[in-house]
Amino acid sequence: MEQRDSRTAPPTLGVGMVGYAFMGAAHSQGWRTAGHVFDLPLRPVLAAIAGRDAHGVRAAADKHGWAAAETDWRALIARDDVHLVDICTPGDSHAEIAIAALEAGKHVLCEKPLANSVAEAEAMVAAAEAARLRGQLAMVGFNYRRVPALTFARRLIADGRLGTLRHVRVSYLQDWLVDPDFPLTWRLQREHAGSGALGDLGAHIVDLAQYLTGEVLVGVSAQMETFVKERPRLDDASSGLTASGGPRRGPVTVDDAAVFTGRLASGALATFEATRMAAGRKNALRLEINGEFGSLAFDLERLNELSFHDHREPAATAGFRRIVVTEAEHPYLEGWWPPGHVLGYEHTFVHQARDLVEAIASGTDPRPSFADGLQVQRVLAAVEESAQKNSVYTPVQAVAAEVR
Amino acid sequence: MEQRDSRTAPPTLGVGMVGYAFMGAAHSQGWRTAGHVFDLPLRPVLAAIAGRDAHGVRAAADKHGWAAAETDWRALIARDDVHLVDICTPGDSHAEIAIAALEAGKHVLCEKPLANSVAEAEAMVAAAEAARLRGQLAMVGFNYRRVPALTFARRLIADGRLGTLRHVRVSYLQDWLVDPDFPLTWRLQREHAGSGALGDLGAHIVDLAQYLTGEVLVGVSAQMETFVKERPRLDDASSGLTASGGPRRGPVTVDDAAVFTGRLASGALATFEATRMAAGRKNALRLEINGEFGSLAFDLERLNELSFHDHREPAATAGFRRIVVTEAEHPYLEGWWPPGHVLGYEHTFVHQARDLVEAIASGTDPRPSFADGLQVQRVLAAVEESAQKNSVYTPVQAVAAEVR
Amino acid sequence: MEQRDSRTAPPTLGVGMVGYAFMGAAHSQGWRTAGHVFDLPLRPVLAAIAGRDAHGVRAAADKHGWAAAETDWRALIARDDVHLVDICTPGDSHAEIAIAALEAGKHVLCEKPLANSVAEAEAMVAAAEAARLRGQLAMVGFNYRRVPALTFARRLIADGRLGTLRHVRVSYLQDWLVDPDFPLTWRLQREHAGSGALGDLGAHIVDLAQYLTGEVLVGVSAQMETFVKERPRLDDASSGLTASGGPRRGPVTVDDAAVFTGRLASGALATFEATRMAAGRKNALRLEINGEFGSLAFDLERLNELSFHDHREPAATAGFRRIVVTEAEHPYLEGWWPPGHVLGYEHTFVHQARDLVEAIASGTDPRPSFADGLQVQRVLAAVEESAQKNSVYTPVQAVAAEVR
Amino acid sequence: MEQRDSRTAPPTLGVGMVGYAFMGAAHSQGWRTAGHVFDLPLRPVLAAIAGRDAHGVRAAADKHGWAAAETDWRALIARDDVHLVDICTPGDSHAEIAIAALEAGKHVLCEKPLANSVAEAEAMVAAAEAARLRGQLAMVGFNYRRVPALTFARRLIADGRLGTLRHVRVSYLQDWLVDPDFPLTWRLQREHAGSGALGDLGAHIVDLAQYLTGEVLVGVSAQMETFVKERPRLDDASSGLTASGGPRRGPVTVDDAAVFTGRLASGALATFEATRMAAGRKNALRLEINGEFGSLAFDLERLNELSFHDHREPAATAGFRRIVVTEAEHPYLEGWWPPGHVLGYEHTFVHQARDLVEAIASGTDPRPSFADGLQVQRVLAAVEESAQKNSVYTPVQAVAAEVR
């Protein structure tokens, strides 16, 4: 019988997570799994999680495999065995926690959207830049960049397979607010969530549009709507996507839906739709990009597939091909299963963990950076401004010339 | 051997058609076929077609089965054997021909878009209203209303199967302008075509959005773009979708693409995209409508299918069902083939011919009326105005409260 | 005003059709339309149709556009204005009518399956060969060979795009017999229909398997089943797919379903399934062919699409591409609409009419020939023999070495 | 700071795994994850794995998270900290290891196919039955039963939603042997793998056909083929799906493909196809089941979706609905993500681990049992026998009357 040889084991990276609801569960799965699938230079250790409710956080720690539980995120940040702080709380606390963690010398992974306002996001970028000088890294959790089909899509575009881009159309459709009696959770309150479908779903598709094309959005024209103005109040705090409400109703203070058009730096036209009111669409992030030489299409409900049309082929045999993105050559697939043995939603968090661990080990900047998160935030702010100003085209000040 | 019993044969309806390119061929197929598939109260007779080129119009008459050919549309209108004038010319001549035909006592079918401007469309509506008092009928050729799946979709919505509507998203994607060397045909010249993708494709999807929902669009916010500014000039006139150009280039004076958002009278949000630059999309008119009780989805490239989600079903077995719209109960299907024996594009023109013949025989108003065409024209004008005014939300003055 | 110039009009081909139910309607549409879409060397004239019921055949002639009606098919064959006899009757009369028409000096088009037995089919081939020496042509109506996507599929295979073939899998699924109260029409009686799903649906997929691959089936192993043994009798004769029955029940004497495996001459494995009991499948003729270099897939309910996988492409971008078979380069498409403007079921009959007219004008042999029909008949007979002999592998004697 | 409260932690279940290639990795992921997703009555502990190569097994243990490594599976079985032996080796060692483990008092999970012969499988069933009297449980790893869409499909069928079944058609298509230079790994050698596509893929679809319908297959008629007779020899042992060969070639002694038809106990017809030669199909396990009241369809490459047609609905709105099987009501979904956040291949192993742990804790018999594995083995043996006997229909002796 042989024992693990500790002399050759990789050094560890202590992770501390704040928040333990849906995103906390997904991030936990990422941290637990990444080292068993990929050969990582650092071994992630699930050191501690923090949450306000002592019983809840203890149960979550046990369930998700975290060694310790804290009821104050400041205590978590202060722990010596925590090298990286992973922030999975609602958006209203992102800035405070992230800045404190960076100031405490920790690496930071912050869930999207980066913040609830541009000002907060700018402060976070500043903190990240200061920390970078001390060798600390910061990343924002736009996990869909790490769907293999989308990572591969970006590569095809960067390789020029689409040529000059003409159109980007992206929609992110869910339906959990169709029922007018779905209760007034924190996600429907502006003070906690910042915005509704816009920040939750729109942030993803704005980031993807920029990531996939490598271009920034330079302006937008928008309409937003809250179809159901009042919903049943929760008697006590609820943090999840599912909950039940009481008899009293309170005002919904965020948008149910946002639709907007935009321009990419190259002049391509973009259309966006984010809604929680599309009956029958569960997690339908759909995108299509058309260029001079070809097109790409994708649907998150079939996330192992990428459709690619090569317009330079003979017309008689051209057409959108369904690429099953599970070949060893595809991004992230070297660690997984044989072709056609498909991946799921949570794998994006495994990939995110891998990439961040590798960035920390090598000292390179992980993407999406806080600056990328700020770029998205500025677009979202322009969307809200345009919606308030009769949909007038509203320019976006770019954080950087291109998106990587 | 028996002979046809002329005593029981239905009376005839003499049709005269102006124009004989793509639309002319499609309309001819409709007129030739309708009486053999449906039991019509009047038998359409392909009396005469008109075109400026004597050789061309003669050849077209022979090919498409018209008894006579005229080189002047005024002569066609003057013929006693022509009771209905079918206008298949570019948009710049619609108003003049339609008004003249109505004044000459003929029924009129006019291809879409109704006209190249709101003013022309208003004059046509006035002429149609005056003619109506004399018993003449006028109809505009939004043929996609007569795709069985879409006719059926309207019925489902009118029956309340979707409940209050939240979202309409429609795109009409083609790719025949992706090649920058596609030549400068009349469809790319403002003086003939009025506009580009907007009037050609956008008119269809605006009409469908209003027809399917039964609601008018009350305002829009738009962006338009001409990606390829100059194209090879044609040495001689070309009237078709396919042609080849010479070495000299001239300016494209219409849009390659138009994207816009809008509001329906009920408050539902609508998004529209019309483009001829979507590589790989041939005739992809795609729409989805989401309501409180369900959703519908459709793609013109699979025009026999309608996707319907009933949100009031138990969640565990709910989902978008693929209805193959070929049952005897489906609109127009009583005349065609057994279930699953699919129809195609041209059948919309057969259905259009049937419905117009029946309306004439019964003296009822055919839809879409010229007023429906004007309603679309006003939306298109608002789209152009918004695009010129920095995408600002631009109201549309409704022709009528609802669309039938 | 110009008149048709009769000096340049093509000579005519008088068509006489026997039978006027579903197939008669479809063939009529083919004959009426072919000359208006394609430039034909002979103009088809719908001279006369024959049917036993005087009133019915007269009404059918009026409805479908035939100049005359006969109540005896012998009288139809005898007409001088009939040059081609088109047989659309149930299978039990094919041999007698076809042989008589050939002996009377007419060209013949006979609906599939060619006959109800191998012996009949052999006699028909002999008659066709004798007539061929007199310049007459004979063709069997496997119309699906003329779905553009399938004609194109054959071309790709013949061009070697799939390499050596490994697998052919074809199913033809319908559901009109799922209801146990569907009545006992002629299609369910062995003496009229010969067999059930096997001859009706199985004949199509056997022919397609051989046509697409260019290879004959050399043997089969089969199971057949009649799930519903008795059905309501019809009080009077019914000839169609839809009818209603009375209270008395009678025995179903044909198969509801046939499943069989087979071998192509090259050694490829083939699987077949023909059934009228697949709830929800309306006209789902689905096939997939796998070869060393690639694969093809097709579904008749989406007949404008062909899926093609090129296995020699780099794995990372390979996948089944959805070819929308509506390009001008695709078979038969030169006469129809712009790309993406889709065709339907009935167009196969227009294409069949075109090809037969061209063959007659040029004196070349049309395909599928009666010998091709006999080849299918031998396969069907082997299927029945195998099913009766405990599914034992049953060789098929090939009519010719390859199928064109 | 709180510590894990060991007083409330569930007792542990020590798992010992034999073999660490593809299946070993997948099972490891299942054991590591199940307790973090579901509330399990026993906490699985990854105690030890066994493999012949000392270096390899040590590396695998580290990579996949196993505490110890053994180079002899007998030593693994002998460990006190191993309560359950999970067998992930090639089929030729299943019987020996499983029987030894059962005799040593361990629970057993054995990968499919249960064995390489009926005799081995029968011995395993006998050993399992004897062990059952001592309270030990045995299960065979047909993991696809635990794809939520398939578990749900069985439930719908068991609830009578399809009525009397008529047709089952299942194919399992892969393409990793299309390349004639793919090397001669153990999976292509009869002495190790037992059979080729038949045992590897065919076993899955035979089990699924029986599991979903709840019926046994009573007889089969089959053809099998080895298209590529010789392949490059491996210089050294290779255990995986991917490998490279040397210049010398050796005989392939298993089938590349098996096609067969069969009968279910109720009389329904079934068709099966298992192949590794379907270019472009990666892991395409496709099935469709048709019954009197409806149909179901599924594709493993889109494993989150189930298509369901309810034939008792009005025809005008009936159609195959695409159920996204990610609702909280769906099997296994209570532990995972919100609707539309899809699962992948490996989740079947998490579900398998959960169900086995629960069975052990409650002392109930897990399914699929070794007897279920024997039932599949008998079908596979009948397939081989039929293929050798000219495809003659070959009865299968049922292990039990129905399949649960």
B275-328: per-residue pLDDT in tens? 999 999 999 999 999 999 999 999 999 999 999 999 999 999 999 999 999 999
Q: Do C309 and D167 touch (CB under 8 A)?
A: no
- Among B301, B321, B325, B329, most C C-beta atoms within 10 A, so best to mutate, is B301
Q: Which chains touch C (3+ CB pairs under 8 A)? A: A, B, D
- Among C165, C171, C259, C385, most D C-beta atoms within 10 A, so best to mutate, is C259
A216 CA: distance to closest CA in chain B (Å):
18
Residue B3 has pLDDT above 70, yes or no: no
CA pair distance B201, B275, nearest whole angstrom:
7
Residue C1: inside a domain: no
Q: Which residues of B touch A291 (CB under 8 A)?
A: 279
Q: Which residues of B touch D334 (CB under 8 A)?
A: none
Residue B92: inside a domain: yes
Q: Do C290 and D273 touch (CB under 8 A)?
A: no
Q: Which residues of D touch C202 (CB under 8 A)?
A: none
Structure letter (DSSP) for residue D178:
-
Q: Given pLDDT bands bounded at 50, 70 and 90, which one contains residue D8?
A: low
CA pair distance A266, A393, nearest whole angstrom:
17
CA pair distance D299, D287, nearest whole angstrom:
7
- Which one of C115, C143, C171 terminates a domain? C143
What range defines the domain where residue D62 resides? 12-143
Could you tell me where the beta strands, DSSP code E, fall in C165-268?
165-173, 217-225, 230-232, 249-251, 257-264
Long-range CB pairs of B240-246, under 8 A, 24+ apart, other chains included: B240/B21, B240/B22, B240/B185, B241/B22, B241/B176, B241/B185, B241/B187, B241/C338, B242/C328, B242/C338, B243/B183, B243/B185, B244/B183, B245/B181, B245/B182, B245/B183, B245/B184, B246/B183
Q: Are residues A83 and A173 in the same domain?
A: no
Query: Is the distance from CB of B272 to CB of B257 less than 8 angstroms?
Result: no
Residue D404: inside a domain: no
Q: Are residues C164 and C198 in the same domain?
A: yes
Q: Burial level of A14, CB count in 10 A (0-12/13-18/19+)?
A: buried
User: What pLDDT score was predicted for residue C2?
Assistant: 42
Q: What's the CATH number where A133 sits?
A: 3.40.50.720
**Residues B185-215: pLDDT tens digits?**
999 999 999 999 999 999 999 999 999 999 9
Provide mean pLDDT across the span A182-202.
95
Residue D181 has pLDDT above 80, yes or no: yes
Averaged pLDDT score across all residues of chain A:
95
Q: Which residues of B touch A175 (CB under 8 A)?
A: 290, 311
Q: Given pLDDT bands bounded at 50, 70 and 90, which one contains residue C1?
A: very low
SS3 of C327, please? coil
Q: Do C279 and D260 touch (CB under 8 A)?
A: no
Q: Which residues of C touch A315 (CB under 8 A)?
A: 327, 329
Nearest CA in chain A to D299: A340
Query: Chain B residues with CB-CB distance to D under 8 A?
Result: 152, 156, 308-309, 314-324, 327, 329-330
Structure letter (DSSP) for residue D365:
P
Residue D360 has pLDDT above 70, yes or no: yes
Query: Is the distance from CB of D272 to CB of D290 less than 8 angstroms?
Result: no
Residue B181: inside a domain: yes
Rg (CA), chain A: 21
Q: Which chains touch A (3+ CB pairs under 8 A)? A: B, C, D
Q: Given pLDDT bands bounded at 50, 70 and 90, which one contains residue D243?
A: low
**Residues D257-286: pLDDT tens digits?**
999 999 999 999 999 999 999 999 999 999
Residue D239 has pLDDT above 70, yes or no: no
> Cα angle at D358 between D352 and D361, to 5 degrees?
140
- Which one of C82, C113, C143 terminates a domain? C143
Q: Do D273 and C171 touch (CB under 8 A)?
A: no
Residue B240 has pLDDT above 90, yes or no: no
Rg (CA), chain B: 21
Q: Are residues D118 and D169 in the same domain?
A: no
**Residues D56-69: pLDDT tens digits?**
999 999 999 999 99
Provide mean pLDDT across the span B148-167.
98
Q: Do A167 and B273 touch (CB under 8 A)?
A: yes
Residue D7 has pLDDT above 60, yes or no: no
Q: Are residues A255 and A191 in the same domain?
A: yes
Residue C313 has pLDDT above 90, yes or no: yes
**Residues C375-402: pLDDT tens digits?**
999 999 999 999 999 999 999 999 988 8
- Cα A133 to Cα A350, A360, C219, C338, distances in angstroms: 27, 14, 76, 60
Q: Do A33 and D28 touch (CB under 8 A)?
A: no
Q: Are residues A308 and A349 in the same domain?
A: yes
Q: Do D327 and B316 touch (CB under 8 A)?
A: yes
Q: Which two tokens stand for residue C365?
A: 């042999």
Q: Are residues C194 and C124 in the same domain?
A: no
User: What pLDDT score was predicted for residue A2?
Assistant: 42
User: What pLDDT score was predicted for residue C402?
Assistant: 80
Q: Are residues D258 and D332 in the same domain?
A: yes
For chain A, the domain total comes to 2
**CA nearest to A232, candidates A180, A177, A183:** A183
Place of tokens 């897990």: D366
Q: Do C321 and A317 touch (CB under 8 A)?
A: yes
Query: Is the distance from CB of D281 to CB of D222 less than 8 angstroms?
Result: no
Q: Are residues B55 and B158 in the same domain?
A: no
Nearest CA in chain B to D317: B323
User: What pLDDT score was predicted for residue C3?
Assistant: 46
Q: Do A317 and C323 touch (CB under 8 A)?
A: yes
Q: Are residues B171 and B114 in the same domain?
A: no
Residues ≥6 apart with Cβ < 8 Å to A60: A20, A24, A49, A51, A66, A69
B292 CA: distance to closest CA in chain C (Å):
27
> Which of A32, A65, A342 has the CB atom closest to D303's CB atom?
A342
Q: Do C292 and D311 touch (CB under 8 A)?
A: no
> Cα angle at C151 between C145 and C156, to 5 degrees?
140
CA pair distance A131, A47, nearest whole angstrom:
22
Residue D56: inside a domain: yes
Provide mean pLDDT across the span A367-388.
98
Residue A401: inside a domain: no
Q: Do C22 and B62 touch (CB under 8 A)?
A: no
Q: Which two tokens stand for residue C113?
A: 């399956």
- HSE at residue C129, side-chain half, CA atoms within 13 A, is 9
User: What pLDDT score was predicted for residue D4?
Assistant: 46
Residue B1: inside a domain: no
**CA nearest to A109, candidates A199, A11, A13:** A13
Q: Is D373 left (phi over 0), alpha (psi -120 to 50) or beta?
A: alpha
- Which one of D120, D143, D166 terminates a domain? D143
A393 CA: distance to closest CA in chain D (Å):
33
> Which of D315, D316, D323 has the CB atom closest to B319's CB atom?
D323
Query: Is the distance from CB of A174 to CB of A242 less than 8 angstroms?
Result: no
Q: Given pLDDT bands bounded at 50, 70 and 90, which one contains residue D166?
A: very high
Provide mean pLDDT across the span C121-142.
98
- Concatenate the DSSP letters of all residues of C336-366 into one string: S-STT----TTHHHHHHHHHHHHHHHHTPPP
Q: Which two tokens stand for residue B245?
A: 């150009």
Residue B5 has pLDDT above 60, yes or no: no
Q: Given pLDDT bands bounded at 50, 70 and 90, which one contains residue A3?
A: very low
Q: What's the CATH number where C380 sits?
A: 3.30.360.10
Structure letter (DSSP) for residue D199:
I
- Cα D343 to Cα B260, B319, D297, distances in angstroms: 36, 18, 18
Core vs surface per residue D71-102: b (16+ CB within 10 A) or e: bebeebbebeebbbbbbbbbbbbbbbbbbbbb
**Residues D12-31: pLDDT tens digits?**
999 999 999 999 999 999 99
Query: Is the distance from CB of D143 to CB of D349 less than 8 angstroms?
Result: yes
Cis status of the peptide bond prior to A314, with omega within 30 of 0: no
Q: Do B340 and C26 touch (CB under 8 A)?
A: no
Query: Is the distance from CB of B249 to CB of B230 less than 8 angstroms?
Result: yes
Q: Given pLDDT bands bounded at 50, 70 and 90, which one contains residue B239?
A: very low
Start-end of H helices in D134-202 = 148-158, 190-193, 197
Q: Report the percentage of chain B scoring pLDDT > 90.
A: 93
Residues ≥6 apart with Cβ < 8 Å to A364: none
B-C Cβ pairs (cutoff 8 Å, strict)? 146
Q: Do C69 and B9 touch (CB under 8 A)?
A: no
Q: Given pLDDT bands bounded at 50, 70 and 90, which one contains residue A10?
A: confident
A228 CA: distance to closest CA in chain B (Å):
10
Q: Are residues A242 and A255 in the same domain?
A: yes
Query: Is the distance from CB of A309 to CB of A318 less than 8 angstroms?
Result: yes
Q: Are residues B350 and B390 in the same domain?
A: yes
CA pair distance B314, D321, nearest whole angstrom:
13
Q: Which residues of B touch C300 (CB under 8 A)?
A: 340, 342
Which helix or strand (DSSP H or E) is residue D138 part of?
strand D138-141
Provide mean pLDDT across the span C239-247.
60
Residue D402: inside a domain: no
Q: Which two tokens stand for residue A340?
A: 């056609």
Q: Are residues B104 and B148 in the same domain?
A: no
Nearest CA in chain C to B75: C1
